[in-house]
Structure 1
Amino acid sequence: MKLLHTDIKNKVLKSMITILDRERQAIIDANKKDLEAFEKEDQALYDRLIVNDKKVNEMIAAVEAVMHQDDPVGQEISNRTLKNGLNIVNTTAPFGTILIIYESRPDVTIEAAVLAFKANNKILLKGGKEALNSNLILEQCWHDALEENGLSKDWIKLLHLKREETQEFLKNPTEPLDLIVPRGGERLIHFVKTHATCAVLVSGRGNNFLYVSEQADWSKAVNVIINAKTDKISGCNALDKVLINKNLPEYETKVKMLQEKLEKHNVEILVDDKVSDILSQHETVADQAIWYEEFLALKLLIAEVDSLDDAIETINEYSGKHSAAIITENNEEALQFMHNVDSAAVYHNASTRFTDGGQMGVGAELAISTDKLHHRGPLGLKQLVTNKYYIYGDGQVRV
């Protein structure tokens, strides 16, 4: 795709803001068809599927925020002139074509596309079948905005492929693909990594851990745990596992207090063998696979650890490398935790719910990357470009 001037890209986004507001009721009505057809056995997936007035406002706000951000393409990274006179300039450049595969959330159809487009990438959207009606009308909104400004609809395109067809497309794409971002659960990520023939940037599952140190402020710990677990269970930044240091003063009393608080929020509690001695009425973990599981539900595992090192080792073995937190009043201990836990975002005395592009100052996000290349954490506008070297000479040859 050709490089577009910033002005034309912003005109498309301005049109899109108007169109989303104009088509608000039609978008909500289309979403109602998806909601009515959805079987509510997966509450987290159902929550992600909902589009209401508030959600449309958030879509509009996301487009507007990206419109006002600086164009990330063509930004100079470095500029140096060698002794032989060659001027070497490294600048940001589009990836080309990005495919994002995602489940449920129709708002991804807006956020992913607006970021990719502003960064001058063509984007292919493969949403889940549960959001088909919602995604179709949102795609039409994009196409209207593009055509109003004289651009091809090919810049933003929804793929209508079944699972087997998607598998074949990943193996033998019918058009050039430069990057694939799977945004969903472990099965989706494994599916894409197994079949893709181009670069894959993983938007990992959550399975987030929080460690309560023996030097924690207990009131602070409880507030953070409740928020991280119950604020939005469908978020990939929600809390799944709590590790409590057995040397915490009044350990047993505090564990029972935490149980009472969680039960008031209707949280199902699982415990390890050691905590089961205190909370004997709760189910004890029998299957080791639960330690790897992202719950996406009002469900929390509470376990006992002996030390900071024990907590770090447990988190690095089982977590999804998304977000991890420590509650402690000891800053040195916090830094040791944050340096050694292998996660995209590490927190000291704060909820994991802040691992979000908007909350972290990035703006709209394509996903939260748990890969280490080329970027880790929220994939915002500035992260949807690669780089390119421009070398200016005057007949130089290498000798």
Structure 2
Amino acid sequence: MSQLLSIEKRNAVLNRMAILLEQERVNIKSANHQDLTNYSGGDLAMEKRLLVDNAKIDGMILSLQQLASQEDPVGQIRFDFTHENGLKIYNKTAAFGTILIIYESRPDVTVEAGGIAFKSGNKILLKGGKESLQSNLKIVSLWHQSLQDNEVSTDWVEYLNYNREETQAFLEKPTQRVDLIVPRGGENLIVFTKKHASCPVIVSGRGNNFVYVHSEADLDQALSVIINGKTSNISVCNALDKVLIDTNLGHWEVFAKTIIGELQQRKVTVLGDETISKLAAVPQIESELVWYEEFLDYKIVIGITNSNKEAIDTINKYSGGHSASIITKNDSVAQEFMENVDTAAVYQNASTRFTDGGQFGLGGELAISTDKLHQRGPIGLQHLVTNKWYIYGHGQIR
């Protein structure tokens, strides 16, 4: 591991990087245009994540500025204890060392995830997808310029331009030390990484998020939350894929038809369970397996449920462990739902689209973990650390 950089150096590199992104706006978009031109896949969500426009660059710059202004996550005292023999014992946060980030199609990850890992005192290895190669190489060249401008070795940020076989070989037998791997992308990437990795992996899991419309829901709120969750951005893991409507809701059939009509007006393909399909003449899901799917598309499944317990059980069975929301005016029912649904983020009367480091006040995130170790949900700066024990004595022996 490289020697820890001072917080002043780390912040100076981040601030310089923000300036370089602003200066190189045109060239970044030009490199990205090359990637978009070369992209021949038909994946709408992938293409949306691949695009770098002015708004995306604004987001990258803002994330770096926010990171530079945040407290150093390294060296924070988590616990202290004075032994009866006089030993002073502290537990402090510490950098992991080297973090490998494997990701698909999102050049902004090269800035935002790289920035969070760097601010946390870590060396960064970036393994981006072939579809975003030109954008990534351009952004990494700016990282290197920022490091050099601050008299810091360019080894701190390294881009691994590997194909699938080379990546697999590196995961199984790294040619340099790797302390933590963070895959960001679809399920196939995550499964591939977990299968071959020889060090700890943080799973940035799939979405497949649910909204449960309870019998005491405000229906205007329910409509607004569902439309926002499904249509505001289909290419993100916090988008909505499934809706459960409580049959104890007065005139639930009318509400179901209303929401289906509103979604169809917005070009969303609506699928139903057996009851909804018959009620609203929408296609019925082909099999139970559809309940497990994350769509990343203008597509949604609507089904009925007969009780709160059934809603909780359904979500716990099928969801990706990411986010779930209940729409209800009954706070005690909401609390019971939120305590028993096994997802990283649980909501009452709000859109799942808020599951995001920036929205949660973390100033951005490295990933959204659906694992329970070592951190769940958005992984911000303060979570991207391990810990270390410091013991100060004057000759004590046991």
So what's the TM-score if we normalise by structure 2?
A: 0.98
How do residues 75-94 of structure 1 correspond to structure 2 at under 5 angstroms?
75-94=76-95
The aligned counterpart of 2:47 is 46
The aligned counterpart of 1:159 is 160
Cα deviations across residues 298-345 of structure 1 (Å, max 9, x unaligned)? 100001111111111011011000000000110000001000000000
The aligned counterpart of 2:291 is 291
Cα distance in 2 for partners of 1:272, 1:53 equals: 41
Could you tell me how far 1:39 is from its partner in structure 2?
2.4
Secondary structure of the 2:386 match is strand
- Structure 2 letter corresponding to 1:334: A
Could you tell me how far 1:275 is from its partner in structure 2?
1.2
Cα deviations across residues 162-188 of structure 1 (Å, max 9, x unaligned)? 101111111101111111111111111
Cα distance in 1 for partners of 2:387, 2:378 equals: 19
The aligned counterpart of 1:380 is 380
The aligned counterpart of 2:306 is 306
Could you tell me how far 1:285 is from its partner in structure 2?
0.9
The aligned counterpart of 1:190 is 191
Alignment of 1:395 onto 2:398: no
So what's the TM-score if we normalise by structure 1?
A: 0.98
How do residues 200-349 of structure 1 correspond to structure 2 at under 5 angstroms?
200-280=201-281, 282-349=282-349
What value does the CA root-mean-square deviation take over the aligned residues?
A: 0.9
Could you tell me how far 1:86 is from its partner in structure 2?
1.0
Cα deviations across residues 184-214 of structure 1 (Å, max 9, x unaligned)? 1111111111111110110011000110111
Cα deviations across residues 209-256 of structure 1 (Å, max 9, x unaligned)? 110111111111011000000000011100000011111101111111
Cα distance in 2 for partners of 1:331, 1:168 equals: 52
Unaligned 5+ segments in structure 2 are none
Unaligned 5+ segments in structure 1 are none
- Structure 1 letter corresponding to 2:373: L
Could you tell me how far 1:37 is from its partner in structure 2?
1.1
- Structure 1 letter corresponding to 2:183: P
Could you tell me how far 1:34 is from its partner in structure 2?
0.6
How do residues 115-194 of structure 1 correspond to structure 2 at under 5 angstroms?
115-194=116-195
Cα distance in 1 for partners of 2:209, 2:148 equals: 43
Cα distance in 1 for partners of 2:273, 2:243 equals: 11
Could you tell me how far 1:287 is from its partner in structure 2?
2.2
Identity of aligned residues (%): 55
Could you tell me how far 1:277 is from its partner in structure 2?
1.9
Cα distance in 1 for partners of 2:272, 2:70 equals: 46
Cα distance in 2 for partners of 1:315, 1:70 equals: 37
- Structure 2 letter corresponding to 1:199: P
- Structure 2 letter corresponding to 1:154: D
Aligned length: 397
- Structure 1 letter corresponding to 2:224: N
- Structure 1 letter corresponding to 2:358: G
- Structure 2 letter corresponding to 1:128: G
Cα deviations across residues 100-147 of structure 1 (Å, max 9, x unaligned)? 111111000000111111110011111111100000000000000001
The aligned counterpart of 1:369 is 369
